Every structure is written in C-alpha cells, then in structure tokens.
Amino acid sequence: MVQYLQHSLLRWFDENQRVFPWREDRATKYQQIVSEILLQRTKAETVAKYFDTFFSRFPDWDALCNASLEELEEAMKPLGLYRHRARRLYKLGEDLRRRGGQLPGDSNELRDSGFIGLYVTNAFELFILKNRKPLLDVNMSRLLKRYFELGDFIDVRFDKEVQELANDIIEVRRCKELNWAILDYAAMVCRKRNPLCGECVLNKFCKYYAQNREKSDQPGSGKHEVG
C-alpha cells in the first residue's frame, strides 16, 4: 500500500501539479520558508496572489528582522489572522537577530530557534537542511487516514500514529515532490467534502473507498455517493 501510494501520487503529480511561486527553482530559501508560514490555515491560491506583494516589501531575512510588529501586522491584513501571523514572523525575526542573522545549521539548533510548530520546522528541515520530512498538516493527515484507515481525526501535533506514517511515506528520492503531490491531491481529489473517490488513483487499496463501496452495496441502501 505504501509503495502504491508513493508511485501513484508521483505519477499523478508529474501531470497535474499545481504551480506556485514558492515551488519554482528561482524561489529563495527565505521565500520557501516564509511562504509555508503564510500557508497555514490559508488556501495556497490566496498566498500565491499575495506572494509578490509581500516579498517585494520584505525581500529577505534582513528585511524581516528589521520589520516592526506594526509593519508586519499591516502587511498581513490581506491574508487574515494578521495578528497571529505577524507575531510569528516578528518572533522569528527577533530570534534571527539574537543569532546574529545565522539560520539553524542542524536539527538541534532548529529546536532551539524561533522556527516553531511541527509543520514549519519540518518545512525548514526539508527545504533548508535537506532532510526528508513530511509537510504534515490536516490535508495530508486526511489523505493518509482515509487510505490506511487510521482512526479518528485529531490534531496532527498530537497524532503520533499519523506522524510516524507520514515520516515513512516520504522516504523516497523525490521526497519534496511527494510532499507536494500529497498536498495537491488532498486539495484537488481527496477533498474534505465530496472527495472524487470514483476517479481516485488510490482507490484500488484505499480503505475509505472500500468501506463506502460496501455501504452502497448493502440491500436497501439505495444510490450512494462516496464521500
């Protein structure tokens, strides 16, 4: 099931991947990491529209470190949750100033830095430290839980089962692409509401799909839409 998921989603990704500025080869490490902070609880398409505006105002780590909290709050307003995002970016800038502008060089330094949260620290390890880490959020969790039938949905920060599975899944050469493939697939096919199970490339082994097929085949169930 693991290999089938890996191979199927990478093939799908090569033909159907979404195009975003932080994924392009010309994107700086700074743009990659800060974009991941902006992406939390926000649609990728919304962040993509705001990408040039934000990074023209704060083009690099130095600009972020020198930004005031008020400036960051004003910049974050178009994305919503602006006070929360601004505080995170401001604290990150404070930490970088304390470190003399030096980014964490390994996992131990990362744990003691201003890069906080499971998703952002994993993103830092993936993009900056070049370690294989999952971009584990609610969307990746949903896909994995449906496919493997892992039980009830809980906060991914406390879901050790899905964390361990996500770490196993991304142990491939194209780790970065597989992460993006899972996130794109969760957004486009394995959606929270009305997932496109009938055309899903994973439905051969997906536990969620099999369970819904069984329900629809039961006498008296009538026509049943998987989802």
**Which residues have a catalytic role annotated?**
36
What is d(CA 77, CA 165) in angstroms, rounded to the nearest whole number?
36
What is d(CA 180, CA 9) in angstroms, rounded to the nearest whole number?
10
Q: Where are the alpha helices (DSSP H) in the chain?
A: 2-16, 29-39, 44-57, 61-65, 69-76, 82-98, 107-111, 118-127, 138-148, 160-169, 175-188, 207-217
CB 149 within 8 A of CB 212: no
CB 96 within 8 A of CB 65: yes
Alpha carbon 61 to its chain centroid, in Å, reads 22
The answer for residues whose C-beta is within 8 angstroms of residue 206's C-beta and 6 or more apart is 146, 147, 197, 200
For residue 36, give both structure tokens: 């991941």
Q: Give the SS3 label for residue 74.
A: helix
In b/e form, how buried is each residue of 181-205, taking b as 16+ CB within 10 angstroms?
Answer: bbbbbbbebbbeeebebeebbbbee
